[in-house]
Structure 1
């Protein structure tokens, strides 16, 4: 895929362009017959994007660090493995299969989706369960917008995601570290929250393979393992799905994965984090971890009445 570098400040998609894309989606892409997949594409970003500065103002992590220090076990267990090995992933053509409890089902061509939905830039804090964090400028669209297009049934309570399974492209899948393919899920109200993003780019460019190209989930108030990468399936369910890390170690990883400094991982504390901004070093100063990664004003109401030490 070839992204045009369209990293522009303070630009908003022209309303006429946006509406024409919406018409394209409604008229053809999401017709009664289902979602049409074109045979191939070269994914490009829209010429203008809305830079949304509501959520965080901090020092952005260097692109080099954000693209070379990753968890993506499909390409190896070391943090440096994805950047070294992910060149084997072929990201075009790419389709997203929609199914489950929704009216609109089928295979969705990613380029058609990008053309027909509002893409914006958002700078989010990202927190890993291993107690390191980054601040990344993502480019993507609200998951809520895609969900509305799919017209989920009233019985749909959860959204389930699945990563591509292809051991030839993803050599890490030849091992047994995870029951492949990688799986994740969100409660419907979490998926519809305004913060929840489907990312197609970062730093004004297309997503690098090692960061989850060409389509990944970004949920900034949760730990990083919720950010499933290289997504090929999305389903609407009435029962809570089991995500990959729950299946591997349910005593360590729960379904919700909300950043909570008061709940330690069994093998390390979550009370502080090491921010990666001007370069990664074990000597980087540690800072206090914020509840919900600092996004409590946007998401705390989702969990009213829940025991967040039990539903971790």
Structure 2
């Protein structure tokens, strides 16, 4: 079997070889392959679009299962609603484009997010005032313990800011996701930056197609849309999550530090990008001799400037964390899945 270079399957373009590589084109192939690997007691890495992962230069000493399943199924729904079952390998942004073309609302602000649909619930993707948790109703989940494909409701996934019970250690594989959308071609602009880009007040209703267009433009301006002509897009997206701290701790930060009160009315979300920049790390920054660099458009992204190694990416991430911790006492947490890599 030919060696598969995992760098070719990740948007960061780093990562060594897989000991074994299996491409699953159907749900049956996906479940059969996973059960066989688990049955042998081998290490299994499930890889979708490769947009939220950093794999070590040594590669992965186990089986990589590449999810390439496709398909969107329409389910029965009440009047005014649309229910879809989406195969895990369906590219997320292609799904969003399809729903917008149909005149359905619910995920239009999540346009441009790379990766596969099956990865979306793992970290409860969100952007510009929308989160997957507002439209996800359930997933079909191949459970490691039972070996069965089970329907797990969104309520049972423990969805929160960039996390879920799966990301926190629940073992298994997302086979498909189920969404409930609105049969309406307009939506509410519920996020300040998006409303400003649309030229409307927060809370105004706008066409979903216009929201998608503006979101794609905003993401492109930050290098957050995959583009072979944009070096800043060779990344895994935001490398750090926005930290959540106590309200009391937030008061110790400079008054100009952006902050948002969490729904629990106790904790406060901070801007990781603001903390990074104020810790003295500018856009485009790189360590001497390194091919990894902070994006020239957005300090939350670490980019591969060409020929970067996973070790260089990790080194820069550690440097950023150390500077922010020393300056503000805030420890940033990586957003991507780190495979054989430590930051």
Please tell me whether Structure 1 or Structure 2 has the larger radius of gyration of its CA atoms: 2
Judge same fold: TM > 0.5, yes or no: no
Give me the TM-score of the superposition, normalised by structure 2. 0.22
* Larger RCO, structure (CA 8 Å, separation 6 or more): 1
